[in-house]
Amino acid sequence: MILRRFTKHVTDQNWFAVGLDVIVVIVGIFLGTQVTAQFEYNKERVQEKLYIERLHEDAVDAYEITNINTDYRQFHLDNLNEIMRTLNEENGRSDITNLECNSIYESHIYADPSVALPTITELFSSGRISYILDEAIKAKISEYQIALDASSDVTFEIQVGATIMSHQYPDVITMPMSLEGFSTIERIAVQGATTISCDYENVMSNKAFKNDMVANAHRLSAHVRRMRIETDLIAELHALIDANLGVTH
């Protein structure tokens, strides 16, 4: 209808009407574009809220996992530091407890992989990270992703050259012939001790053992620092998401 009317106005050389028709068409296109853009914007805001709510669930779950693992490795690192104070005659002790000995045994273990948040992975892989308009959340997501990307290289560097102390020094570390000697978070919390034992006199006289234990302690310290960085970033992301959603815990 508009085209027919426009053609008639041109035929009649009614230029005012032609101009008016052109303006009507332009305004119609503009309004149509605005309505479409607003529809897309509203749809993306709905998606953004859904993504942020999912991020909240991911952050809660990931923090629980990483915090437990970090505290567990920190527990062993604290024990190694206490052993070093004992060997340096700084704490008035002349023994190594079974629990501390267990930490020497576990000093080469860094089996704590970084925890990728599924929603962050989806946002980047689908190209929908732009849906997140909260700049603070978006920046923290990028910061966490960078930390994860760097973690694999850090973990590899830490693991290279680690000494399996129970293999290298069987005369110092006595392993039980059952699984009861191996600590878990639950065992430490409930029993507070294991049956892995260390010969203190042998430790004192074995310079190679002490050197390797200290080297493993440095590796474990780096591992714990890496884990703390990720745990803190998850906590910071969680706080930003809570503020965005108006959630209190």
- pLDDT tens-digit readout, 94-108: 999 988 998 999 999
Whole-angstrom distance, CA of residue 206 vs CA of residue 211: 9
* Region 199-221 average pLDDT: 95
46 pLDDT above the threshold of 80: no
Number of helical H runs and strand E runs in the chain: 9, 2
83 pLDDT above the threshold of 90: yes
Paired with 174 in beta bridges are 197
pLDDT one-digit tens code per residue, 4-33: 654 654 465 555 555 655 666 676 666 667
Scan for tokens 């570390």, then name that residue.
Answer: 173
